[in-house]
Every structure is written in C-alpha cells, then in structure tokens.
Amino acid sequence: MLPYLRLSGSPYDQGIAQGTAWAERIAHNLELYFRRFEVECKLPPFEARSRGERYFAAIQQQNPAYAAGLEGIAAGSGQPLVDIATLNVRYEIVYYQFAQDTAPVYLAHEAPNGCTAFALMPAHSADGHLWLGQNWDWMEGVQGALQHITEPDGTRILAFTEAGIFGGKIGLNSHGLGLCINGLVSVGDNWAGLGKPFHLRTYEVLRQKALSQAKAVIIANPRTASGNFLLGQGGQAVDLEVSPMGIGIWEEERQLVHANHYLAPERFGIEVPPIEWLDRSHHRAERLGLRLGEVEKPGLEDLKAALSDRDGAPYAVCRTASPEEYALGEPYRTIVSVIMNLGTKELWISDGPPHENPYVRYQV
C-alpha cells in the first residue's frame, strides 16, 4: 500500500504535516530530481534552483495559499525552501528540456512517454456512474503517496501526489469532481514565462466545486507549459489539451482516452516538435480504447483489466522498465494506477504496475 496521510487546517499546516510525515521520502525525491536535472537535463543544481526561486516568487503572487503550503513542507521536512519550490515546478523544468532541439538523446527518444487516462460515460458503465482512471508512468525511483485532505471550507479531497509536491495531482473531491493528467510537449513551452505551473493548476482544480470552474482554471492565461487535463463531474467529462499556442477540447459520447500526444494539434494551431517515442503513446491510447470497448458496459473489474494491459510490453498501457533504460538513465514504469467512481466518490489505487500489484479502495 502507498503511504496514506490525512491532512487538514491551513495550507501551511497541511504542508508542515506532509513535510514531517514524509521527510525521508521528500529527501529521496529531491536527490532523484536534482540528479536528473544535472545528468539528463544538463542543468547544474544552481541553475535548477535559480529557476525554482524565480518561479516561487511568481507563485506567491498567483496563489499565496499554495506558496504557504510549500513553506510548510520545507519547515516540516527540514529542506531548503528553494529546493521544495524547485521540486514543485519540476514539470516546467523537465518538460521544457524535452521540447528543446538540444535535449539529450535519451530524453528525446523516451520521456515523457507515460500516462494513459480514460473517462467512461455514465450511460456506458455497468452502474450508470461516470468513471475516470489512469496509469501514471514516471521514473521508477520516484516516491508517491495518497492524501485525504479536508480544506477549511469543508471540501474533502483524495489525491495522489509525489512526496514533496503540495496539494495533489490525480484524484477527486467531495463535490464529485475528478482529475486525471498527461504530460505533453509543444513548440512554445517556456518555463521562463512563469505562467501558473502544472501542479498549481492541479491543486486549484481539485478544490473547485463545479466542472465549469475547474475548466476555467486549466485554460486561464498565461499558459507557458503544455499538458493534458481530463476532468469529470456528474454526467459530463471533458479533455483539455493545453499549450501556449492553443487549447484542444474533446468530448465523446461513450469514452475519452488520452496518452502523451495531441490528438489533432493542427486543428487548434498547436505545433509539436519531432519526438520519436510518440508512436508508443499512440499504441497505448489505441490499446486502452480497444480494451474499454470490448465490454458493452464495463464495470470495475473490466477497468482494472484494461489498465493492466501488457500488449507491446514493456512499453504497454501497464508500463514496466526496459533493459535498455537501465543503461541509459532512470527507468520508467507505472508508478500508480488509479480508478475513480465519481458517482460513489470511491478511488482505487495500486502501488506499482497493476498487473502485479493489487488495487486498494478508498472513499472521500
């Protein structure tokens, strides 16, 4: 089972609690990411910290509550605030490098090749509820955890996060609003634009009461980094492909499936740099869509089976590390698999690839 922590109180108090409880895991993730910044992204620690410091100043203006949460994590874990801030904008730092012509060969061929998400509409599910889910694929060594948060306004949130990243990135809340995510890259991504960072947007989404409010958070300007956000509530789901140049909006009658490529970037004025691994992303999306369509009205066990699909292994929907990755850099795998019933407000999560690790059930 993943570490599980209940949090409440002010953002600073929540940060203190997370930092104290997960101090060792946070130290581990900081070491992992700063090594990755330097070895794979060619960013020495002082440059990574400089970017984190600049971004923290922007976050203080964009969302003081989130900034207070980072201060709490730093105080609770005993880590420098600049390091915690850098960790919380690691998406902007790393994905910016992915999109560069000078990116290391390993990055250009592989990362961010992970994460396959879906939404299954109520009319096509076994129990008549809206379901969301995904496999979150990332570096094998990253340490995550599950948070059960009670906000001062009474909103309750179940969310997965990486230890040291505040607020949550995949999950649902007591208003029946759910969120899944995928990494994307496009021409124009630029961390130095200092738009609201990816993890601040997921933090804000999970605290909204209505789907329309969550959508507004995602599409708000300025957008200086690409990303995909799959949102659902009640009987509606929408997929938002975000880039600095435009926004792709997708809705379907039966199901939505998304991996790590834009579905039709030219339709929305989005330009994608040449990245060789995108064929693997297409394969995962096609396989998950196929598996969801095999059953007329899928239930929980069907969704588990779909996310456990190993076709094309190791680069499958259910991802495991390939032998070549151990020689080239940080191996990738499915870190967690998440399934959410937005009607009953239940969440199932696996600690590792679901074909060999059981799901554990939680409820908001």
For residues 149 and 7, the answer to whether their CB atoms sit within 8 Å is: yes
- Residue of 331, 279, 288, 289 lying closest to 309 (CA atoms): 288
Going by C-beta distance under 8 Å and a sequence separation of 6 or more, which residues neighbour residue 50?
none
CB atoms within 10 A of CB 344: 13
Q: What percent of the chain has pLDDT over 90?
A: 83
pLDDT at 102 over 80: no
ω before 44 within 30° of 0 (cis)?
no
Res 94: pLDDT: 82
Superfamily of domain 114-363: Penicillin V Acylase; Chain A (3.60.60.10)
| 331 touches 322 (CB < 8 A) | yes
The number of residues in the chain equals 364
Identify the pLDDT of residue 215. 98
45 pLDDT higher than 90: yes
Least confident of 153-167, 230-244, 275-289: 275-289
The residue whose two tokens read 């059953």 is: 295
Query: How many Cβ atoms sit within 10 Å of the Cβ of residue 198?
Result: 23
* Residue 96 clears pLDDT 80, i.e. is over it: no
C-alpha separations of 251 from 122, 156, 258, 349, 354 in Å: 14, 27, 12, 25, 27
Angle between helices 90-98 and 45-62 (to 10 degrees): 120
The strand pair at 4-8 and 144-150 is best described as parallel
SS3 at position 7: strand
**In this predicted model, what pLDDT tens digit does every residue of 158-203 receive, in sequence order?**
999 999 999 999 999 999 999 999 999 998 899 888 999 999 999 9
pLDDT in tens, 243-274: 999 999 999 999 999 999 999 999 999 999 88
Closest CA to 30 of 97, 85, 103: 85
Domain ranges of the chain: 10-107, 114-363
Predicted pLDDT at 317: 97
Average pLDDT, whole number, for the chain? 93
The predicted structure's pLDDT at residue 106: 36
pLDDT band at 116 (very low <50, low <70, confident <90, very high): very high
Straight-line distance from the first to the last Cα atom of the chain, in angstroms, rounded to the nearest whole number: 17
| Cβ burial, residue 113 (10 Å; 0-12/13-18/19+) | buried
Q: What pLDDT shows up at residue 103?
A: 45
The pLDDT score that the predictor gives to residue 112 is 53
